[in-house]
Chain A
Amino acid sequence: MGLREVLLAVFAFGALAFALAVVSTRNTVYAALEFVAHLLCLAALYCLLDAPLLGVLQVMVYAGAIMVLFLFAVMMLDIQETGRESAFQGPGQVAGALLLAALLFALLVFGADRFPAAALAPAAAPGAPGVGADNVVRVARALFERGALVFEAVGVLLLTAVVAVMVMAKRRLEN
């Protein structure tokens, strides 16, 4: 087992462990910090999976920008355990959700069973350069050539989001 395998195992375990921690922590601030750790583990996995650009993006956009927004919301609203009977739904619903989640997982694994061998599109030829080679150039090409239309659509999405957020803010001013 080389260093890469050890790191993969560590970060894969970390991602799952922090995910479980987010779900089970009562305190919202702790949950947010655990979520940051979860995202950092994923970023490390991306780097190990020959996706350095996405690894950096994950740290900057997700663990950085998005989580700062989350923490900002948590701090601003100051909603920790105050006068709350429980952070969770009732036991019946927890059991139901557990069943549902297990079922979902089983369904996914069963539905996609035997995936490593024949389930996927033909794998890259052994000699071909991996996805990590020239990664940034190739991602940029995929983004701006074939993906040009989707890129434009994302632009419209962001404009919509800006107008939407403006509406939310404006309502507060008016009230």
Chain B
Amino acid sequence: MFGVGFFLALAFALFAVGAFGVLTRRDPLVMFMCIEMMFNSGNLALVALSRYLGLASGHALVFFVVAVAAAEVAVGLGIIIAIFRTEKDVNVDHLSELKG
């Protein structure tokens, strides 16, 4: 029962959960975690597919994605901290509150 299809389905489910979190949460840190969750779902799919295909090059791709994600976290948290330090309570507004 644990074929590659199972892991792809799991990856898709994690991707959808992450997307749901990004769209509904207001705390930018939690939103950012949900984005990382979506990155990880892609990684999980890559690992499962590499095993099924017998190709280690998929692992190298995961390696690169993790490096990119780490850089993104550094910059992203930098932005979030820079914003929060100047004003304590910044939420990401409802999209409808965007000035037209």
Contacts and interface: CB of A to CB of B under 8 A. Distances in A.
B82 A142 contact: no
B24 A23 contact: yes
Given A19-B37, A82-B88, 17 more contacts: A9-B2, A12-B7, A28-B29, A49-B7, A62-B40, A69-B74, A88-B24, A89-B23, A105-B12, A108-B16, A109-B9, A116-B4, A130-B51, A139-B56, A139-B59, A139-B63, A142-B60
B4 A54 contact: no
A19 B17 contact: yes
Contact of A116 (B5, B24, B70, B77): B5
Interface of B: 1-10, 12-21, 23-27, 29-30, 32-34, 36-37, 40, 43-44, 47-60, 62-64, 66-75, 77-82, 84-86, 88-89, 91, 94-95
B24 A51 contact: no
A51 B60 CA distance: 11
Contact of A87 (B9, B26, B32, B67): B26
Interface string A92-109: 011011101110110011
Contacts of B91: 84
Nearest to A132: B51
Nearest to B32: A70
What secondary structure prevails in chain B residues at the interface with A?
helix
Given A87-B27, A172-B85, A131 B55 contact: yes
A8 B69 contact: no
A160 B57 CA distance: 26
Contacts of B15: 104-105, 108
Given A19-B17, A105-B12, A123 B26 contact: no
A77 B84 CA distance: 7
A154 B70 contact: no
A104 to B, nearest CB: 5
Nearest to A157: B71
Contacts of B51: 49-51, 130-132
B63 to A, nearest CB: 6
15 contacts: A16-B13, A19-B18, A20-B17, A23-B25, A51-B62, A53-B59, A82-B88, A84-B91, A89-B25, A93-B23, A98-B24, A139-B60, A157-B67, A165-B78, A168-B75
B53 A86 contact: no
A57 B66 contact: yes
